[in-house]
Structure 1
Amino acid sequence: MRSLLFPLAVTLAVQVLVSMAVVTVPVLAPAVAAETGASASHVGIFIAMVYGASMAASLVSGPLVQRFGAIRLSQACLVACAVGLACVATGVPALFVVGALFLGMGYGPVTPASSHILAKSTPPEKMSFIFSLKQTGVPIGGALAGALVPALVLWGGWRVAALAVAGACLATFISAQPMREALDADRIPDRPLVFSSLAGPLRYTLGDPVLRRLAFCSFFFAALQLCLITFLVTYLTLNVGISLVAAGLMLAAAQAGGVIGRIGWGMIADRWGRPMYVLGLLAIAMGAAAVATGRFTPQWSVVSVALVCAAFGATAIGWNGVYLAQVARLAPPGKAGDATGGALVFTYGGVLFGPPAFTFLIEGGVSYAWAFVVLAAPAVACGLWLFGRKTSAVRALDNTR
């Protein structure tokens, strides 16, 4: 238990802090806009730059893990996030761009690094649950940013708030150091970082038919997930007539559903022994929840809206742990970081694609209801694909206990 608890604790802590660092900037956006005169909507461009850098960083993370070690790379990610927030705290527009790139470089490699650690320390029969538990760090980090950062802004201003989160990242960097020697014992210090080795994770993902299928599906799952997070509050306030405070609570309900879902689906996948089926069911369920969300009207009760939002979050946010555990299962021993880095290129691609596509539909005159349907349809199709394309290799992996 000790050999499993410590790696889980350190990877979860790192995930919470880098997620909190990324969400801190959108939370600060109104305060920054009020002082600088910039439009708060520019935060969408900022987040796009963050995830663009995350795509590139996740691609190169596998070789970096093998050369420097997963803990050392995680520590570097925490430092990068701290530097990114420090750049934001300057208030200089050009340094906002630099800050977005540093935050992306800090966010992207964390999941491949943690997958490398957990794949070594987790028994196969507990992998979906442990990976899902670690992935709760994403919504937990977002919830902490939403709860703590506004209070810090009121206390000391938005610059102090940004620097406080940066300081927390550096404190986590220090706290992870005692684990470095044990968890990075398998690193290869003389591994060359040539271009061909850095492109290897993507070639590996594209070359394996099952990994390619999972990565392709994750593109559409992530697109729908980010549309939920990005547009729910705006949709509820402008189209359903819910107050901003109540809409924020609905988003909190979705995030809470994501935390519970990530843990619950991981447990179900391990107990059932069919993670591919679980992902297929989640895809169909997130599509149904998206359609139900698009049908909200002012006549819906607050409880009904909250329940649908929680179900949307439990599925559209809750799938990641089962997905990452399956990617790690499919990877050869010691290659979980490479496989995860290559697969996450597609996942982050969905993050970049989803919100702009949703915006394009709305600006083109499509209703929110139909925009949710358009984004949900490919996710549901992917769910059916996961049911219909069960190879013998996947069946064998699903039955691993």
Structure 2
Amino acid sequence: MTVAPRPGWRSALGVTLAMQTAAAALGQTLPVVAPVMTEAIGLSAESIGYLAGLTSLGTVLFLLCGGPVLERLGPVRTLQGGVALSGLALGLAGLGWAPALFAAALLLGIGYGPTPPAGSRILAATAPPEHRTLIFSVKQAGAPLGAVVAGLAGPPVALALGWEAVCLLGLLLGCCAGLAVQPWRGALDAGRNAGRPVGPGTLFSRRNLAAPLSALRLHPMLWPLALLSGAFACLQGSLFAFVVTWLVGKHGLSLPQAGVIFAVMQGAGVTARMALGWVADRSGRPALILASQAFIGSLLAVLLALAPAGTPGWTLGALAGACGFVAASWNGIALAEVARVAPPARISDATSGVTVVTFLCYFAAPFAFAAGVAALGWTLPLLGMAALPAAMGLLVAPRLLRG
């Protein structure tokens, strides 16, 4: 095992934030061009829900199997491989062939998979305890920040040059992002186990597949954190996958207008993750912040769902921004709590376990939402997803608040 000086938390945060941003931008590329992409390929508008579900399934596959890869390559090299794979997946999607598009969606998810456990492993080893929640939240702000980039850049490029050009830009981003963090790879990957087996027998062994979920039994707060994260994920995943299509289809906005509102929602999440992370550190009650977000986020999502056709764009933007601020800013606080209560040697496994539950919900929710939209229209499925964080908050908040 290689030994090197411990890196500072600032460089660790810079690397993880950059990779989180790139991974999120790549992962949100297909939803922001969905209206023109699905029409060009001959798919129904709600098909973006199936693509989003496959992306989440790919992430779950990595989280269940990829622990040995993370140990052997180190967190930075694994992150580099993830964004490269995501870039290649978008290149595949750009072929404009439906089967390739569905395969690309699955590969996008696998490419995103290293982001939560690798980032937590890096920051848990470097972040000062008194600022842990804020630092994790700043890193997680890269997720909506990347989506802002996708929302602002994707639609105009798609209209000017075609949606395939957006996919090619994603391919370029995936290659460049990995190269950009290479100077810090040696120090941050110093603790990797170069002799760790990564063959199929190891990756798909029962013990390896069970490790993330079994780690949730290591502390009584981990399962409640996982379940509340899953409820947030159902709402957030449905909104992020469908909001552009909903704004264009139901409200008659143009694709660039819908992209701006998508970016507003994501940008609010950037601000909120940092602001609420700071509040959580200062108050010493991160679980209370999470529980409050569940109830307030559900209320705001209900208001957005009930917005009638013809609602002014600025009103839709304000509601979407409020939803993004409250209902899409929980991730950093939740992951910081996981890192706080999990045994140090099992932080990656515990993070993967919580994230497996989260991404199973990211996987299932868009499928259920797409089926609901096809059968019932937009409003009832939106209301159903909006209710989930508050309902789960009622169940798990008492345990979380006990600490």
Partner of 2:102: 97
User: Are the equivalent residues in 2 in contact too, given 1:65–1:337 (CA < 8 A)?
Assistant: no
User: Are the equivalent residues in 1 in contact too, given 2:158–2:165 (CA < 8 A)?
Assistant: yes
Question: Which one of the candidate residues 35, 56, 65 is aligned to 1:60?
Answer: 65
Residues 1:317 and 2:328 are matched in the alignment: yes
Partner of 1:384: 394
Partner of 2:4: none
Which residues of 2 match residues 193-232 of structure 1 at below 5 A? 193=198, 194=202, 195=205, 196-206=207-217, 208-232=219-243
Q: SS at the partner of 2:47?
A: helix
The CA deviation at 1:358 is 3.0
- Structure 1 window deviating more from structure 2 (227-236 vs 118-127): it is 227-236
Q: Residues 209-247 of structure 1, C-alpha deviation per residue, up to 9 Å, x if partnerless? A: 311111111111100112222343454555566666554
- Structure 1 window deviating more from structure 2 (11-20 vs 223-232): it is 223-232
Partner of 1:306: 317
Question: Which one of the candidate residues 298, 301, 305 is aligned to 1:290?
Answer: 301
The CA deviation at 1:33 is 4.4
Partner of 1:161: 166
- Structure 1 window deviating more from structure 2 (287-296 vs 93-102): it is 93-102
Tell me the distance in 1 between the aligned counterparts of 2:35 and 2:398.
46
User: Are the equivalent residues in 2 in contact too, given 1:61–1:338 (CA < 8 A)?
Assistant: no
Question: Which one of the candidate residues 385, 391, 395 is aligned to 1:375?
Answer: 385
User: Are the equivalent residues in 2 in contact too, given 1:63–1:338 (CA < 8 A)?
Assistant: no
How many residue pairs get aligned? The number is 392
Partner of 2:185: 180
The CA deviation at 1:350 is 1.4
Tell me the distance in 1 between the aligned counterparts of 2:384 and 2:337.
27
Question: Which one of the candidate residues 130, 134, 138 is aligned to 1:129?
Answer: 134
Q: Which runs of 4+ in 1 moved over 6 A?
A: none
User: Are the equivalent residues in 1 in contact too, given 2:84–2:178 (CA < 8 A)?
Assistant: yes
Tell me the distance in 2 between the aligned counterparts of 1:92 and 1:380.
40
Question: Which one of the candidate residues 137, 140, 151 is aligned to 2:145?
Answer: 140
Change over 3 Å in CA distance of 1:206–1:95 after alignment to 2: farther
**Percent of matched pairs sharing the same residue:** 34
Change over 3 Å in CA distance of 1:164–1:377 after alignment to 2: closer
**Structure 1 unmatched runs, 5+:** 395-401
User: Are the equivalent residues in 1 in contact too, given 2:298–2:386 (CA < 8 A)?
Assistant: yes
Q: Which amino acid is 1:379 matched to?
A: P
TM-score norm. by structure 2 comes to 0.88
User: Are the equivalent residues in 2 in contact too, given 1:60–1:201 (CA < 8 A)?
Assistant: no
Q: Residues 243-283 of structure 1, C-alpha deviation per residue, up to 9 Å, x if partnerless? A: 66554443332222211111111111111111111100000
Q: Residues 300-359 of structure 1, C-alpha deviation per residue, up to 9 Å, x if partnerless? A: 665544333221111111111111111111221143221111111110111122233334
- Structure 1 window deviating more from structure 2 (140-149 vs 241-250): it is 241-250
Tell me the distance in 1 between the aligned counterparts of 2:358 and 2:104.
22
Residues 1:15 and 2:20 are matched in the alignment: yes
- Structure 1 window deviating more from structure 2 (58-67 vs 138-147): it is 58-67
Tell me the distance in 1 between the aligned counterparts of 2:122 and 2:95.
35
Q: Which amino acid is 2:106 matched to?
A: L
**Structure 2 unmatched runs, 5+:** 1-6
User: Are the equivalent residues in 2 in contact too, given 1:116–1:334 (CA < 8 A)?
Assistant: no
User: Are the equivalent residues in 2 in contact too, given 1:112–1:341 (CA < 8 A)?
Assistant: yes
Change over 3 Å in CA distance of 1:263–1:299 after alignment to 2: same
Q: Residues 143-194 of structure 1, C-alpha deviation per residue, up to 9 Å, x if partnerless? A: 2122223444456544343222212211121122211110011112223442
Tell me the distance in 2 between the aligned counterparts of 1:155 and 1:224.
32
- Structure 1 window deviating more from structure 2 (303-312 vs 135-144): it is 303-312
Change over 3 Å in CA distance of 1:37–1:130 after alignment to 2: same
Q: Which amino acid is 1:258 matched to?
A: G
Tell me the distance in 1 between the aligned counterparts of 2:87 and 2:134.
30
Tell me the distance in 2 between the aligned counterparts of 1:151 and 1:51.
26
Change over 3 Å in CA distance of 1:100–1:356 after alignment to 2: closer
Tell me the distance in 1 between the aligned counterparts of 2:178 and 2:171.
11
Provide the alpha-carbon RMSD of the alignment: 2.7
User: Are the equivalent residues in 2 in contact too, given 1:286–1:315 (CA < 8 A)?
Assistant: yes
The CA deviation at 1:102 is 2.0
User: Are the equivalent residues in 2 in contact too, given 1:60–1:341 (CA < 8 A)?
Assistant: no
Q: SS at the partner of 1:209?
A: coil
Tell me the distance in 1 between the aligned counterparts of 2:315 and 2:347.
41
Change over 3 Å in CA distance of 1:386–1:161 after alignment to 2: same
User: Are the equivalent residues in 1 in contact too, given 2:140–2:331 (CA < 8 A)?
Assistant: yes
Question: Which one of the candidate residues 102, 110, 114 is aligned to 2:115?
Answer: 110
Tell me the distance in 2 between the aligned counterparts of 1:262 and 1:319.
7
Question: Which one of the candidate residues 6, 26, 30 is aligned to 2:31?
Answer: 26
User: Are the equivalent residues in 1 in contact too, given 2:53–2:366 (CA < 8 A)?
Assistant: no
Tell me the distance in 2 between the aligned counterparts of 1:192 and 1:182.
22
User: Are the equivalent residues in 2 in contact too, given 1:277–1:386 (CA < 8 A)?
Assistant: no
Q: Residues 28-82 of structure 1, C-alpha deviation per residue, up to 9 Å, x if partnerless? A: 4444445544445433322221111111112233332222210111111022112
Tell me the distance in 2 between the aligned counterparts of 1:59 and 1:182.
26
Tell me the distance in 1 between the aligned counterparts of 2:176 and 2:210.
32
Change over 3 Å in CA distance of 1:327–1:61 after alignment to 2: farther
Tell me the distance in 2 between the aligned counterparts of 1:236 and 1:78.
29
Q: Residues 280-303 of structure 1, C-alpha deviation per residue, up to 9 Å, x if partnerless? A: 000011111122223323686655
Q: Which amino acid is 1:166 matched to?
A: L
User: Are the equivalent residues in 2 in contact too, given 1:279–1:386 (CA < 8 A)?
Assistant: no
Tell me the distance in 2 between the aligned counterparts of 1:96 and 1:232.
20
Change over 3 Å in CA distance of 1:387–1:96 after alignment to 2: closer
